[in-house]
Structure 1
Amino acid sequence: MSASLVTVEQAAEHLNLHPKTVLRYIRDGRLPATRVGKSYRIARTRLDAFAGVASDQSETAAGVRATCIVDIPDVSVDAAERLATFLQSAAIAGPADTPALHLQTAFDPLAKSMKVVVIASPSNVAKLLEMLQVHMSNRL
C-alpha cells in the first residue's frame, strides 16, 4: 500500500477487518474517505491515524507540532459528551493532506470540568481552538 490512496479492500486487509466493517466505519463518519464513482478511496495518512499507527512519512511531513491543553469549567455530563463529539468530528474533518491531529478529552464529574488536549501543527491547533471558541460562545 505505497500509494497515497487505498481501496476499501486494501484498508480492510491493513486493519485486519472485513471490507463491510470498513464501509460501515466510512458511512458512520469514523473513517474519512473520498467517493470515486461507486467505490471509496482512503488517504493512507488517515488510515494510519485511524489505526493508531505512527508513520515515518507523516512525522517528517509534520514538522513543527504544538500541544495545547484547554480547561473548561462548569460543564454538565451531557454538554461534555456533545462537546467531545463535536471536537472529534472537527478533528476528523480536516484535509487529508495534512498530518493527523491528535485529540483527547477528559471529563471530571466531581469538578464538573473538562480538559481537551490537542497535538497538531500550530495552524491546525489554532483552527480547532477557533471552532471550540465559536461552539462555546454559542452555548452561552
Structure 2
Amino acid sequence: MAAVVQQFYSVDQVAGLLDLHVKTVRAYVRDGRLKATRVGKQYRIAREDLEAFTGAPMSPPPAQEALHAEVSSIVQIDSIDREATIRLTNTVLALVHGRHRRDGGDHLRVETVYDEQRATLKIIILGDLDTTANVLRVVDTLISQPA
C-alpha cells in the first residue's frame, strides 16, 4: 500500500500564494473560514483545505532543480605533426558527434586548434562532467598509443 503524503503550508506561504496579508490569513483561520492545524505556536494548512477554501486546485510548489555542473577543459598536445592531428581530431569528433546523435542532447561541445609552426594541438571540451571525462579518457588513450 502506498503512503499518502500530505502537503502543508505555513500561514506565510498561504499569504504569498493568495496575495494576502499574513494577518488576513490568520484571521481566516481564527474565524474558522480556513481550516488549519496548530503545531506548537504556528498554524499549518493542508493543501486540501486550502483548495476547499479557494475553490480551485493549488499547483504544487516548484520542485527544486537538481544541481548541474559543467566543465571546461583545454588539452594541449605538443610535438604533434599534421597527420597525427588529423587522425586524433577526426576520431574525437566522430566520437562526440556519434554520442550527440545517440543522446539527443547537446551536453558536449568540442573544438580543436592546431598550430603548425609550434606543432601544438589544443582540444577544447565543454560539457557535463561524465561525458567530458569519457572524452578525456579517449584522448589519453589515443595519445598514449605509438604512432
Normalised by the length of structure 2, the TM-score is 0.50
Aligned residue among 69, 76, 83 for 1:71: 76
* 1:80 aligned partner, one-letter code: T
* 2:82 aligned partner, one-letter code: V
1:119 maps to 126
Gaps of 5+ in 2: 1-64
2:108 maps to 101
On the 8 A contact 1:118/1:125 being kept in 2, the answer is yes
1:63 Cα shift?
2.8
Segments ≥4 residues shifted beyond 4 Å:
none
The root-mean-square deviation of aligned C-alpha atoms, in Å, is 2.2
**Residues 1:130 and 2:137 aligned together:** yes
Distance 1:100 1:62, change over 3 A: farther
Question: Percent same amino acid among aligned pairs?
Answer: 17
**Residues 1:110 and 2:109 aligned together:** no
Q: What CA distance in whole angstroms lies between the structure 1 residues aligned with 2:145 and 2:93?
A: 18
Gaps of 5+ in 1: 1-59
On the 8 A contact 1:62/1:121 being kept in 2, the answer is no
1:83 maps to 88
Q: What CA distance in whole angstroms lies between the structure 2 residues aligned with 1:77 and 1:61?
A: 43
Q: Deviation string for 1:78-136 (max 9, x for gaps)?
A: 11111110110111122415543100000001100100000000111100000111111
Q: What CA distance in whole angstroms lies between the structure 1 residues aligned with 2:133 and 2:72?
A: 11
On the 8 A contact 1:84/1:105 being kept in 2, the answer is yes
Normalised by the length of structure 1, the TM-score is 0.52
Q: What CA distance in whole angstroms lies between the structure 2 residues aligned with 1:101 and 1:72?
A: 20
Q: What CA distance in whole angstroms lies between the structure 1 residues aligned with 2:105 and 2:68?
A: 11
**Higher RCO structure, 1 or 2 (CA under 8 Å, sep 6+):** 1
Q: Deviation string for 1:1-59 (max 9, x for gaps)?
A: xxxxxxxxxxxxxxxxxxxxxxxxxxxxxxxxxxxxxxxxxxxxxxxxxxxxxxxxxxx
Between structure 1 and structure 2, the one with the greater Rg is: 2
Q: What CA distance in whole angstroms lies between the structure 2 residues aligned with 1:77 and 1:131?
A: 19
